[in-house]
Amino acid sequence: MSNRAATIKRNTKETQIELTLNLDGTGAHQVKSPVPFLNHMLEAFSKHSGFDLKVVAKGDTHIDDHHTVEDIGICLGMALEKALGEKAGISRFGFFYVPLDEALVRAVVDLSGRNHVNFALDLAVKKRIGNFDTELVEDFFRAMVDNGKFNLHLEKIHGRNSHHIVEAAFKSFARALKMAVAHDAKVKGIPSTKGNL
């Protein structure tokens, strides 16, 4: 079984990012960006997916955090697609519920090659978690899915505290994706009647 890993470099006038993702890692992570809350979420994502993740990012956060958050999402999606390759032998589908105190979030993933997001975390518009704008959570996931070419349904079942809801979302997504990328001994070749994903 080959190591499924990829490195993406993205340099624009707004951001400079280098991101490495290893799907067959141990959950080791080194995340450095000027957006502390996103760093916290990405560390949780790495820990609970079991994927190794290294991110070094700089961005124009003197304007706001949007470009940096969205571009890290772009890079993570691109790295996922590249690391998966032709997707032979994977489970393809994954789902997981994660509770965090009063919050409960469900993530469902299909590594279909088609990008679609059903984002239903019901976060208050323009509400902030510390200095982090909660609107950016949806921007992050949409950027990742569009560039990773997969299907994601992310839904709040219960929850009041935005920090708990968002953290449960990242953790449930991590575990659902872990399930979807896992090798399934019963799957021969590409897990699709089409013959490709």
Order of strands across the sheet that contains 93-100: 93-100, 103-110, 151-158, 116-120
- Specify if 196 maps to a domain: no
- Tens-place pLDDT, residues 120-146: 999 876 689 999 999 999 999 999 999
Residue 87's nearest CA partner among 12, 20, 187 is 187
Query: Would you state the pLDDT for residue 1?
Result: 46
- Tokens at 24, concatenated: 């067959």
Give the integer Cα–Cα distance in Å for 21 and 97: 23
Structural domain span for residue 132: 5-181
CATH number for the domain spanning 113: value is 3.30.230.40
Structural domain includes residue 188 = no
**Separation of alpha carbons 146 and 153, rounded Å:** 13
Residue 118 has pLDDT above 50, yes or no: yes
Digit-coded pLDDT (tens) for 168-189: 999 999 999 999 999 988 888 8
Q: Tell me whether residue 35 is in a domain.
A: yes
Task: Please state, in angstroms and rounded to a whole number, the distance separating the CA atoms of residues 60 and 77.
Answer: 21
The count of structural domains within the chain is: 1
* DSSP assignments along 114-149, one per residue: --EEEEE--PPTT-EETTEETHHHHHHHHHHHHHHT
pLDDT of 190 over the 50 cut = yes
193 closest CA partner among 112, 114, 127 = 112
Answer whether residue 60 is part of any domain.
yes
Q: Is residue 142 part of a domain?
A: yes
- In a domain, residue 26? The reply is yes
On whether residue 84 sits in a domain, the answer given is yes
Task: Determine, yes or no, domain membership for 186.
Answer: no
**Range of lowest pLDDT (30-34, 42-46, 54-58, 85-89):** 85-89
Stretch 152-180: mean pLDDT: 97
